[in-house]
Structure 1
């Protein structure tokens, strides 16, 4: 069971807890420095989604363009990396 837990967490539970504490302190410091609160971030995401809904999803047209342009580069690179790693 311990091996499965380590595989799921990516490391031993104690090391994962220490890493999470360190990252939490750093993120908390940065958020305090910029004056951000978790509520403001949640509110920003909520307002973004509401604006997206009220705009009639016009903004998704630009996202679709970005998706196609990016996919032209990303998918061949992904396939190339998978082929190179498959031969090892």
Structure 2
């Protein structure tokens, strides 16, 4: 069991805990220097995803406008061409 735990953690549990504590202390210090809070990062990521989501739908709205404008010309032209080709047959 101990060998499997060491392989999973990459080292002994005690050494892994010490490494995680040291890295957490360094990261916490750097975040304090730059005045970052964990929730600021979380909210920033959430806002980024929401902005991307909303801008994506805006882009789809513009594509829909182009599609509708093109369809106003293409669909009647298609119907007229089909009617004229049907009369020739």
**TM-score normalized with structure 1 length:** 0.63
Deviation at 1:46, TM superposition (A): 0.2
**Per-residue Cα deviation, 1:33-69 (whole angstroms, up to 9, x for no partner):** 00000010000000010011111176xxxxxxxxxxx
Match for residue 27 of structure 2? 27
Match for residue 9 of structure 1? 9
Task: Determine which structure has more spread, i.e. the larger CA radius of gyration.
Answer: 2
Structure 1 runs not aligned, ≥5 long: 59-88
Match for residue 56 of structure 1? 56
Q: Which consecutive aligned stretches of 4+ in structure 1 deviate over 6 angstroms post-superposition?
A: none
Compute the RMSD of aligned alpha carbons.
Answer: 1.3
Residue 35 of structure 1 aligns to a residue whose secondary structure is coil
Structure 2 runs not aligned, ≥5 long: 60-89
Which structure's residues are more often helix, by fraction? 2
